Chain A
Amino acid sequence: MGTSTVGTAAGYRPSATLPFLAEFRRQASRRRTQLALGFMVLLPLIILIAFQFDSGDDDNGGGEFGSLISFATSGGLNFTLFSIFVSASFLLVVVVALFFGDTVASEASWGSLRYLLAAPVPRARLLTVKLLVAAAYSGLALLLLAGTALAAGTLRYGWSPLRSTVAAELPPGEGLLRLLAVLGYLAVVLLVVAGLAFLLSVSTDAALGAVGGAVLLWILSSILDQITALGVLRDFLPTHFSTAWLGLLSTPVQTDDVVRGTISSISYATLFWALAYWRFTRKDVTS
């Protein structure tokens, strides 16, 4: 075996370890990745089928939820919006928590983490690649959900303007842009879950603990957000601005809360990720 002058094995470069694609394939082969992504495709279809049973005379309740339901079948864009709406508060949170919370913790529980670190994959690089791959899968899940809903909804209900009670009708072209903006903001909001789940993932060997913990804290934050007595404190809850994307549907677009939500999400995500790096690059891997 030839040894290079820098003291590494032949062909070894720290920056070449754990290539993005290698990690992507490692995750792709996992059943939970496949199930999560598969469900993203399946959900809009399930909703579509469920709407076929709608007799059209039931009361869907008031508020913007009711209006989103009543508009859901008015076109592909609205159907997509509805699909996003019903999954944003919980399903997407779980999926993102899964991708980010499971990624390091499961390696630790299999024992393969120590072999990656001994390979050696530099710890910061390991985290970065894991982070990027988890982000890629989360983004993919979001796009799959929206894409399937858009395709299925358009095929079934047609290519119509985007309608909502908060604003005038938007022509399909602009409606699609708004939809993309909604997806983008949703992705930003979910960064909080991503950060939290990732931090828990590097702190525990139990993948389920990391995923569940992140979802649990998200729910806790949502509950606290319901308590109006907390006043301005609620602005600091990571979930407080999670529904600000509704403002992107109005004309003119209400971006104030979106901007504040983005600030909140990015701050939390940065904090959590920084803690995750800080912790993981120092911790003793004993699993």
Chain B
Amino acid sequence: MTSRLSIRRIRRALPTGRRAVVAALVAVLLAVAVGWTVRPRGPELRTEAAMLTVRSGPDGQQPVDLDTTFYLPEEASPGHQVPAVLLAHGFGGTKESVRDDAEEFAGRGYAVLTWTARGFGRSGGEIHLDSPDYEVRDAQRLLDWLAARPEIRTDATGDPRVGVVGGSYGGALALLLAAHDRRVDAIVPMITWNDLSRSLVPDSAGGPATAGVFKKGWAGLFFGGGGSVGSGPAGISGNVAAQPQGAPASAGPPSPDPGAGPGSGPGRAPGPAADPSCGRFAADVCAAYLRIATAGRADQAAVDLLQRSSPAGVLDRITAPALLVQGEADSLFPLSEADANARGLAANGTPVRVAWFTGGHDGGDGPESDSDRVRFLTVQWLDHYVKGAGGAPGNDFTWSRIAGFDALDRGLVATGYRTTDYPGTGGERRTDVAVTGPEQQIANPPNGNPAAISSVPFAGGLSALLDGVAGDVPGQHARFESAPLAEAVDVVGAPTVSIRAASPTGEAVLFVKLYDVDPNGAATLPNGLIAPVRLTGLPQRLADARPVTVTLPAIVRRFESGHRLRVVVATSDQAYASPAEPVVYTVAAGDAPVALPAVAGEPIPTAAAVWRWVLVGLLAAIVVGLVVVVAVVRRRHRRHDSSVHPEYADVPLVVQRLRKEYADGFVAVSNVDFEVHPGQVVGLLGPNGAGKTTTLRVLMGLTQPTAGEIHVFGHRLVPGSPVLSRIGALVEGPGFLPHLSGLENLKAYWRATGRPEPDARFAEALEIAGLGDSVHRKIKTYSHGMKQRLAIAQAMLGLPELLVLDEPTDGLDPPQIAEMRRVLQRYATDGRAVLVSSHLLAEVEQTCTHAVVVNKGRIVASGPVEEIIGESPSVLFEVTDPDAARTVLDRLDGVRVLPGSNGQLVVDTNGTARSEVVAELVRAGIGVDRVVPRRRLEDAFLALVGETSRGSGDR
């Protein structure tokens, strides 16, 4: 008992129930949130930052300082040697750009060496554009360094087990290093070039770089210290921050990082002798750039220099298995670059695998699904070929297509596809679509201004605006359109178109693009990719012109049915250098249709597919749970129904040892027993707060008793017991729907009982209510008394065998009260019974056949009213001399004077006739003013409620 009390005290000290639950919930949520935010991130690893001096250059003797960071997994030690990854950054970046990836690889058990390439950041030296003599040789020295580390696993002395990973500038380094150093075990070059001259001075008609069209936009960005150009897809390459994505046609770019360019590295200022026009570029690279940018064309020397920095010529020397990752939204190093690398490597028998993702130099990371795929492929590749764990990755080709915007974070969503073999940019099969149009004359604007806009390097948020800006300048482009497509075409690869052109100068620089035009005329240039061509030897007249086949940049796009293809031939483009002289060309469609390559691939199921099974499982669990709960409830229900107490089968109500204790510890009813038999009108009498209403609440199944039992016609009563249908009740005042009329309320109530309408006896009930026409008015217009009468009528609907009324006369006027008494007395015939609660003694006295007096949750008296009301053995005397009277009375045999108030004597006559007692008093000379017989009920009740309470005042 003490323990229960102490628990109760504790409970009281705490915030009450629901508030406590809410507070606890909030506290838990906060704790989880805080824990999540401050949780330790990433695996344990050690890092060593150091400035390493390596010797390279053509003679291998020129020292240069490289800023490096070495990441070691915790478990790495001379006793437990780990494989290594050499992680190269993109152009304009530093070792910090790839920190996240380095940590990721280190977390997967690789020692990772990152460094800032020469010419960038705090490293020394000049930029030689991945020259074999400089950058590649630097990297070879780093391999030496790795081989000397005791924690690194080696294949032979001086030959570390190492993979090289990098994006863009770093990707080309990976290829070139693998070509020049056999110690490299695997490479993952991303978004990088095959032939730098073709990338910067392309010609999509297949001409040499010396006849190409200068990609001045990108080249300028590189040279002029633009952004941290060149990172691979997110998660692997590094420095591409999350960024807003533009339209699918021109998705967002890597985040620009002004100030990190070659000319403005922090730390090391350019030497005093530095040429302001060259910054940290090596003199030969700088001179080549200046020549190309000035002329708008590349000379052979410049092309030679760029090709020296290109993997194209040395692919046959690479034996390290290569995973080539290239971006679809990349106007700098388009998919054809990776294609050329893949073909070159495959020709040599080197294991090679190709993956395309929807980002790139223009498109950034691409969606999460792409990043995840690239990360998975990279790790799989390194694990197999470097660590020696996991099966052979195979050479299947994966790619993805923008499917739309993500509904939640507004990013792009891509669907991944795969097929067993890499088919190249030519695709597996081709769909031919004819485009038509008249021959058109187009003008080349002087100095390339105004120019069409296809893509803007590093457009960032601007790229979303490109839809509005992008377009061709009137008079400077020709259009050739197809008929609406009968069915959708999925393009994977490089489409080709055929054009014819004539030029008065015999030469023309043209930009060919393929638009997707929807039925409303809105044209989209996939990924902003265009094909520049420089045509030479052109005739003056179109009639003499021969068709030229132009290979457009490879794309991944679905051309919906009903859309048209539009081939546009333009004379200028913002991103390219075009001839300065104004010329007018004539162009026409060639002899061949547009060939659209396709690859049959199966969609890659995303990790999210598992959620579908979770959903199915959840639904199944809910259904099973429901069935189980319903079955259990039904079974329990049946068990309840079967128990009929034979002794009480004909007794409307038996209440036994009823106790109700509320959650806050208040005991409303402590011990109540009584019975209601057929034909009885039982009054539950007690002052306010005696526990009457609580008893009735329990009786109506509204409240669970703490202890005790109630039987109604022998059925044990629990909340919702069907036997409640035999009870009509008015508990705690009326409860009606305010917007319905009285009659509608009764009808609505009866419908809710689900019983047949004729059983309700509406007419009889309404007669009792006596509301007349008011019964058709809305409840909200009713007075309290009217509601009360209607509530009594509702309780009587269906003439229940037991009628329970809580303070029925509340709000009624005297004539109605009198009428109500008659009604109740009449009602308790035909075996029916009535239980009335009241705090009015007179009411119980006049209405009831039996009474139960309760106070403070206990029964004080009970029995037939006549018996209780019947004469009590006690009599109240008012006498002139109470003291004398007391002496007289004490002498009488059996008579006992009870403690009474002044001037009055309450006497227990105990069988002695009142007349005799009076005679004795008079005989003793004591004047008797009043003799009032007392009644038992009154005795009991007055003792409880006192003279001041309303209960007695009403008498």
Which listed residue, B633, B703, B734, B801, touches A1 by the CB 8 Å rule? B801
Are A169 and B518 neighbours in the complex by a CB distance under 8 Å? yes
Known: A282-B704, A284-B702. A259 touches B608 (CB 8 A): yes
Tell yes or no: B720 within 8 A of A by CB: yes
Q: Which residue of A lies closest to B563 (CB)?
A: A168
Query: Quick one: which of B534-586 are within 8 Å of A by CB?
Result: 560, 562-563
Which listed residue, B415, B722, B738, touches A252 by the CB 8 Å rule? B415
Are B407 and A245 neighbours in the complex by a CB distance under 8 Å? yes
Q: Mark B733-754, 1 if CB is under 8 A from A, else 0.
A: 1111111100010001101111
Are A284 and B413 neighbours in the complex by a CB distance under 8 Å? no
B404: chain A residues within 8 A (beta carbon): 166-167, 247, 249-251, 254
Are A115 and B725 neighbours in the complex by a CB distance under 8 Å? no
Complex-state Cα separation, A260 to B150, whole angstroms: 48
Which listed residue, A64, A117, A263, A286, touches B405 by the CB 8 Å rule? A64
Which listed residue, B406, B715, B799, touches A7 by the CB 8 Å rule? B715
Tell yes or no: A216 within 8 A of B by CB: no
Complex-state Cα separation, A29 to B700, whole angstroms: 28
Are B403 and A250 neighbours in the complex by a CB distance under 8 Å? yes
Known: A166-B405, A167-B404, A233-B33. A10 touches B702 (CB 8 A): no
Tell yes or no: A122 within 8 A of B by CB: yes
A118: chain B residues within 8 A (beta carbon): 700-702, 724, 727, 729, 731
B721: chain A residues within 8 A (beta carbon): 120
Determine how close the nearest CB of chain B comes to the CB of A111; give it in whole angstroms: 3
Residues of B in contact, count (CB < 8 Å) = 81
Complex-state Cα separation, A254 to B407, whole angstroms: 8
Are B519 and A169 neighbours in the complex by a CB distance under 8 Å? yes
Tell yes or no: A73 within 8 A of B by CB: no
Are B714 and A7 neighbours in the complex by a CB distance under 8 Å? yes
Are B410 and A63 neighbours in the complex by a CB distance under 8 Å? yes
Tell yes or no: B890 within 8 A of A by CB: no
Are B644 and A7 neighbours in the complex by a CB distance under 8 Å? yes
Complex-state Cα separation, A263 to B740, whole angstroms: 41
B662: chain A residues within 8 A (beta carbon): 284
Are B608 and A260 neighbours in the complex by a CB distance under 8 Å? yes
Once A and B bind, how many residue pairs between them come within 8 Å at the CB atom?
Answer: 223
Determine how close the nearest CB of chain A comes to the CB of B605; give it in whole angstroms: 10
Are A19 and B751 neighbours in the complex by a CB distance under 8 Å? yes
Known: A251-B403, A263-B618, A266-B618. A9 touches B755 (CB 8 A): yes
Tell yes or no: B924 within 8 A of A by CB: no
Complex-state Cα separation, A255 to B610, whole angstroms: 12
Are A9 and B800 neighbours in the complex by a CB distance under 8 Å? yes
Are A112 and B737 neighbours in the complex by a CB distance under 8 Å? yes
Which listed residue, A19, A123, A246, A270, touches B407 by the CB 8 Å rule? A246
Are B619 and A266 neighbours in the complex by a CB distance under 8 Å? yes
Q: Which residue of A lies closest to B748 (CB)?
A: A26
Are B735 and A115 neighbours in the complex by a CB distance under 8 Å? yes
Which listed residue, A7, A11, A64, touches B759 by the CB 8 Å rule? A11
Q: Which residue of B lies closest to A33 (CB)?
A: B739
Tell yes or no: A56 within 8 A of B by CB: no
Binds B, one of A36-44, A95-103, A146-154, A224-232: A224-232
Determine how close the nearest CB of chain B comes to the CB of A53; give it in whole angstroms: 25
Interface centre among B719, B727, B801 (most CB of A within 10 A): B719
Interface centre among A8, A25, A250 (most CB of B within 10 A): A8
Are B734 and A111 neighbours in the complex by a CB distance under 8 Å? yes
Complex-state Cα separation, A115 to B791, whole angstroms: 10
B33: chain A residues within 8 A (beta carbon): 230, 233
Known: A1-B800, A112-B736, A243-B407. A168 touches B560 (CB 8 A): yes
Are A110 and B735 neighbours in the complex by a CB distance under 8 Å? yes
Tell yes or no: B930 within 8 A of A by CB: no
B724: chain A residues within 8 A (beta carbon): 118-120
Are A19 and B633 neighbours in the complex by a CB distance under 8 Å? no
Query: Quick one: which of A248-287 are within 8 Å of B by CB?
Result: 248-252, 254-257, 259-260, 262-263, 266-267, 270, 282, 284-286
Are A22 and B748 neighbours in the complex by a CB distance under 8 Å? yes
Determine how close the nearest CB of chain A comes to the CB of B22; give it in whole angstroms: 10
Q: Can you spell out 5 A-B residue pairs with CB atoms less than 8 angstroms apart?
A: A62-B464, A110-B737, A115-B729, A251-B560, A260-B608
Residues of chain A touching chain B, judged by Cβ–Cβ distance below 8 Å, are 1, 3, 6-14, 16-19, 22-23, 25-26, 29-31, 62-64, 110-124, 163, 165-169, 203, 229-233, 240-241, 243-252, 254-257, 259-260, 262-263, 266-267, 270, 282, 284-286
Which 5 A-B pairs have CB atoms at the shortest separation, nearest pair first?
A111-B735, A250-B404, A16-B754, A246-B407, A256-B608
